[in-house]
Each structure stands twice: as C-alpha cells, then as structure tokens.
Amino acid sequence: MSAESRPAVAEAVVVPVRSGGRSRVTTAVLTYVVAVALAAAVSALFILAMRGDVALAFRTILSSSLGSVAGIAQTLNKISPLLLGSMAVMLARQGGFFNIGVDGQMYAGAIVATGLAFAVGGALPLVLMLPLALLAGFAGGAALGAVPGALRARWGVNEIFVTVMLNFIAYYLTEWVATGPWNDPITGEAITRVLPESATLPMLLPAAGAHAGVLIALVMSAAVAVLLGRTLLGYEIRTVGDNPRAATLGGVRLGRITLVTLALSGALAGLAGAIEVVGYHNRLILGLTPGYGAMAILIAVLGRMHPIGVAVASALVAVLMVGADSLQRSVKLPASAGAVFQAIVVLCVLLVEARAARRARG
C-alpha cells in the first residue's frame, strides 16, 4: 500500500517549471478554480433537484458564515477541530501513514479530558484545570494513535484498518460513558453532566460565542510546521515518508518513528476533542464529531499536505460547513451536502492534477 507516490513538501513551494510560460502556481490556482466551479455546478444540480433557489443557497452560505459577527464566531469555532484534525492527517501522511482515525482520537481525547474534569475539576482553579484538561485530551488522543503505531511497527499491520476499527470502539465507549456513568439524566440523551466551571475555555468573542480554541489550533499548527520543517524528528518523519528503506539505511529507527508519528497525529486530534468539550459543549456529547475525520482527510489533500495549504483549506471548509448548516434551515438542504461538495472538489482537483501529470509525462 505504500507504493503510492507522495508529493514532496518542496513541490508545493512555488517553482516555475513549465516551458509553456505558465508557472506552477498559476496551474495550481487554475486547478482549484476549475475544481470549485465543477463542484459548484454539481451542487447547483442537487439544489435544483430539490427545487431550491440556487442563487439564494450560495448567498446563504456566505452570509451565514461571514456576514455577521455571530456567523464569524461559528466559523472560528469550526476551524479549531478542522485545522487540528487535518494537521493530524497531514503529520501522519508526511511519515507515509494514513490516519483515518481522527474521529476516534477526538472521542478518546474528549473522554479523558471529561473524566479528569469530573474527577478533580471541582477542587482545582481554572489556571490549573484548563491546561490539565487540554493535556488530558492530547494524551488520550496520543494513546489511541499509539495503537496503530505500535501494531504497524511490531507486526506490519496496516494503520488504515486499525484506525477505522478504533473509531467504532471509541464511539461506543463514548456512548457508554455518556449514557451510563456520566450521563445527565435530565436530557434523556447520550450527553454527560456539565463540566465544573474550572474546566471552561475562555471566550475569544464572548458576545458572539467564539471560544479561544482556534488560537490553540493555530499555535499547534505552527508547532507542527516547525516540527516537520526545522527539527531532526521532523526530518526523520519526512524521510520515512519518502523512502522507509533509505531512512533505515541512514540510521533512522523505523519502528520508533512509526510509533511517534502516529501517536503525535492522534494527540492533535485528541486535543481537538478536548477543545470541543471544554470550549464548545461544556460536556461530552455523542455527536461531538459530525464526521470531522473524513473532512480532515479531504482538507489535508486539498491543502497538498503542506501546513499553510492545510490552514487555508481548513478555513474555507469551515465557511462551507457553517454555510451548509444554515442551508438546512433556508433551502432545506441537509448538512451532508457540505461533505459531498467538498469530496467533489477534492476529486476534481485530483482529476485535474492527474491529467496534468499525465500530460507532463507525455
């Protein structure tokens, strides 16, 4: 499965190559414009099929996500799980791994953070409890990410299967804690009691409801970019991703890098889960992630596995997701339309890129 060729990080940097006069960056921009236009056309067909107003739908997406302070707050809140999740996918991919387990790792981080807050949150002040809860999320995600890492390092088990299976296990574990031991009996749903106040993330825009999670996500993303680009560990991860055999011959301990990469990847997702708990819901709920993991994969592909690209793509997808949520109310288009739109954009980008690569080969 590792036979797939991976574009090197350097490739995403602007280098004019084509003799025909078009720089690579123009080609990339054109690719995305064509892809978005195609995806928009397909989405318009869907809206028409539902007898919706196409122009109104597209206007609604933009006005609901960016047209008001409350909308911007919603968009900022969505950026935090999307950015951390896609950074998790990107980090794993740089090491040559596919992390399909972002959803499960988010749940794992959320469970550990919630458990810690219930256990000691009443006794600790916010300055102590909040970092602890975030750290707990980080650790919970890392623990779940270490499982595919260890299995791959020890027995060569493909991490795709392990991360997928762990998604289901983490989901049912969340359902159990949210309906069983930590359940809030008043709601009658898979929701835990409210966390102690010391485990609450401060607000960025208090009136509009934006929490500070997006700042944490941005700082962590910068840290990941530095880790990959400027440290020995990052260099080793990228070497393993490029050519595991050469890395081993060069003295990189393959098993160790496999374990560390997937654990770190899981930790980013776990942190995202903890932020959702302490920042957004103030409790653990079963629908904590409405498929952020799948979105994260697409964002990482759209962002070309490059930190800046991934950050930009996360912001765009956050706009799309908030917009899609409001479409549900105005055009009666279900929220899954957002995922479909995004998947079509990605497939179009891949199509245009593969065609260009084929032409370049002659």
Q: Does 166 bind another protein (CB under 8 A)?
A: yes
Compute how many other C-beta atoms are within 10 angstroms of the C-beta atom of residue 36: 16
- Choose, by CB under 8 A, the member of 151, 153, 264, 269 that binds another protein: 151
Q: CA quadruple 247, 83, 124, 114: dihedral positive or negative? A: negative
- Work out the burial of residue 205: count CB atoms within 10 Å of its CB; fewer than 13 is exposed, 13-18 middle, 19 or more buried: middle
- Picking from 213, 230, 227, 258, the residue whose alpha carbon sits closest to that of residue 73 is 213
x-or-dash pattern for another protein, window 94-123, by CB under 8 A? ----x-x-----------------------
Minimum CB distance to another protein smaller for 133 or for 346 = 346
Residue 20 Cβ, how far from another protein at the closest point, in Å? 20
For another protein, the binding residue among 143, 208, 254, 351 (CB under 8 A) is: 351
**Closest approach of Cβ 27 to another protein, in Å?**
16
In the complex with another protein, the residue whose CB is nearer, 22 or 154, is: 154
User: Tokens representing 160?
Assistant: 């795709």
Q: Tell me the CA distances in angstroms from 325 to 103, 173, 283, 334, one per residue in order.
A: 20, 27, 22, 8
- Alpha-carbon distance of 18 to 92, in angstroms, equals 31
Residue with tokens 């952020």: 292
For another protein, the binding residues in 38-77 under the rule CB under 8 A are 46, 49-50
Question: Cβ 191 to another protein, closest distance in Å?
Answer: 15
Q: Which residues inside 231-270 make contact with another protein, applying CB under 8 A?
A: none
**Shorter beta-carbon distance to another protein: residue 230 or 359:** 359
Residues 2-21 vs another protein: string with x where CB under 8 A?
-xxx----------------
**Nearest approach, Cβ of residue 223 and another protein (Å):** 26
- What binding mask, one character per residue, do residues 290-329 give for another protein by CB under 8 A, x or -? -x--xx-xx--x----------------------------
Our finding on whether 187 is near another protein (CB under 8 A) is no
Give the nearest distance from C-beta 105 to another protein in angstroms: 15
Rule CB under 8 A: is residue 36 a binding residue for another protein? Answer: no
Q: Which is nearer to another protein, 138 or 341 (CB)?
A: 341
285: β partners: 191
Instruction: Return all residues near 311 (Cβ < 8 A) that are at least 6 apart.
Output: 83, 218, 221, 303
66 phi, psi to nearest 5 deg:
-125, -10
Nearer Cβ to another protein, position 130 or 272?
272
Measuring CA to CA, how many Å separate 306 from each of 17, 93, 303, 312, 315? 19, 10, 6, 10, 14
Instruction: Tell whether residue 287 is a contact of another protein (CB under 8 A).
Output: no
Pick 212 or 318: Cβ nearer another protein: 318
- Rule CB under 8 A: is residue 347 a binding residue for another protein? yes
Q: Does 354 bind another protein (CB under 8 A)?
A: yes
Catalog residues that contact another protein under the rule CB under 8 A. 1, 3-5, 46, 49-50, 98, 100, 151, 155-158, 160-162, 164-166, 168-169, 172-173, 175-176, 179-180, 291, 294-295, 297-298, 301, 332, 334, 336-340, 342-344, 346-347, 350-351, 353-355, 357-358, 361-362
